[in-house]
Amino acid sequence: MNSKKKIFITGLTGFLASHVCKILLEQGHEVKGSVRDLKSKKCDDLKKENVFGIAGARLEIIEADITNKKGWKEALEDCHYLIHMASPVPKGDAYFKDLSVIDTAIEGTRNVLEAAAGVVERVVLTSSSAAVIYPGGKKNDLFDFEAPPLNESDWTKTESSLGEIGAYSISKTKAERWAWDFAKSKNLQLTTINPTFVIGPLLSSKIRAQSLSMIYFASAGKINALPKQRILIPYVDVRDVALAHVTSLTHEQAPGNRYILHNEFYDLVDMLEELKEEFKPLSLKWPKRSVPHWKLKLASLFKQDAKMLLSLMGPSHEKYRPINGKKVNEHFNFSYRPLKDTMRDCIQSFKDIGLIK
């Protein structure tokens, strides 16, 4: 963006939002961000820790709940662009079972986008690869390695899929579908960003991202062992995702497009092994690959993290359906950061902000 603009971001307390905000402020723009509760500790800490340095002086934080219709038009009136990012990201069992997140995500998108239509020039919506990767509505869709690579024309099937793919995936798919229908009816310039697991450095100890929990637990020595079988997780660096949001605000090709943000699949144990030498001085106790499949299956009956691991392992053949994340490279002429940099910066940030000693 050449001239300085004002950008509105919903869900400023989020992991991804903090990186988007940082880029925009560093580019010299003004940012207005919404939080659910201005008096919350999360919001207080965001200001206190001075996450954005002196550029933070151009940041205005307001209170607004996406489930409330009121106040959004007034909040957006002085802004040129909107990035709608706030959406429930439930933890543990709720990720699969909390049906309320479906209505909250749709209602939130409706409240914010209805207020934005005719007010802002462009909207970027943070959707998810979860709205792409289950075209058959089955959890094993991602392990159908003989099928062609998934791309932006694929949509997760939501009908009768709840028991298979869970509430969160349905919430993201339905909210994105609603946004596209609405944009079409109002002639609104819309782009969606559909990232796989977002990992990378944390900007503040108070920002807790669900997608970082495995890396945090492993590097903090809170997991001793991982399954013997490799688990490949589709990932993308948070800074790449943030940059794609910012680029979408003004790039001429962006309106009307979905962009899958996906670099590659990574295996946590392999990656930690590669970084062993670099982090040796910290004497971190990283997990080993030693849990047999049957033990994990048993644990998954009682423990949510074991259940999540098992769902990522799929049918044990270690083969995954490829995901094509290249459209964003072609349109925006950008390259994904290498995995080793992402992982190193992520673990280093845990150390810098005092999460690991």
Interface contacts to ligand NDP, rule CB under 6 A? 11, 13-17, 36, 42, 65-67, 85-89, 104, 108, 126, 128, 172, 195, 197-198, 209, 211
Judged by CB, which is closer to ligand NDP: 129, or 284? 129
CB of 43: closest distance to ligand NDP in angstroms? 8
Give the residue among 78, 65, 67 at the shortest CA–CA distance from 30.
Answer: 78
Q: Which is nearer to ligand NDP, 195 or 201 (CB)?
A: 195
Q: How far is the CB of 163 from ligand NDP (least distance, A)?
A: 21
CB-wise, 44 or 273, nearer to ligand NDP? 44
The Cα angle at residue 112 between residues 110 and 115, in degrees rounded to 5? 100
Residue 208 tokens read as 């807790």
Phi, psi of 69 (to 5 degrees): -70, -30
Task: Please state, in angstroms and rounded to a whole number, the distance separating the CA atoms of residues 334 and 354.
Answer: 32
Q: Kindly tell me which of 17 and 190 has the beta carbon lying closer to ligand NDP.
A: 17
Cα of 242 vs its chain's centroid, Å = 10
Shortest CB 329 distance to ligand NDP, Å:
18
Provide the minimum distance between the beta carbon of 197 and ligand NDP in the complex, in angstroms, as a whole number: 5
Closest distance between ligand NDP and the C-beta of residue 320, in Å?
17
| Residue nearer to ligand NDP on the CB measure, 284 or 342 | 342
Which residue minimizes CB distance to ligand NDP?
A: 14
Closest to 66 in 3D by CA, of 94, 39, 97, 87: 87
Structural contact between residues 107 and 33, judged by C-beta atoms closer than 8 angstroms: no
Looking at beta carbons only, is 111 or 219 nearer to ligand NDP?
111
Alpha-carbon dihedral sign for residues 177, 180, 185, 186: positive
Q: Indicate the residue among 25 and 105 with the shorter CB distance to ligand NDP.
A: 105
* Opening angle at CA 329, ends 327 and 330, nearest 5: 65
Q: Which is nearer to ligand NDP, 126 or 161 (CB)?
A: 126
Contact 269, 306 (CB under 8 A): no
The CB-of-245 to ligand NDP minimum distance in angstroms stands at 10
Provide the 8-state DSSP code for 49: T
Q: Give the angle 59-72-177 at the CA atoms, nearest 5°.
A: 105
Min CB(5)–ligand NDP separation in Å: 22
φ, ψ (nearest 5 deg) of residue 61: -110, 130
Residue 8 backbone dihedrals phi, psi, to 5 degrees: -100, 130
**Residue 170 beta carbon to ligand NDP: minimum distance, rounded to whole angstroms:** 12
Task: Specify the residue for token string 């949510």.
Answer: 304
The three-point CA angle 201-205-208 to 5° equals 75
Shortest distance in whole angstroms from residue 298 CB to ligand NDP = 28
> What does the buried/exposed string (b/e) look like for 52-65 if buried means 16 or more CB atoms within 10 Å of the residue's CB?
beebbebbebeebb
User: Which residue, 284 or 350, is less far from ligand NDP as judged by CB?
Assistant: 350
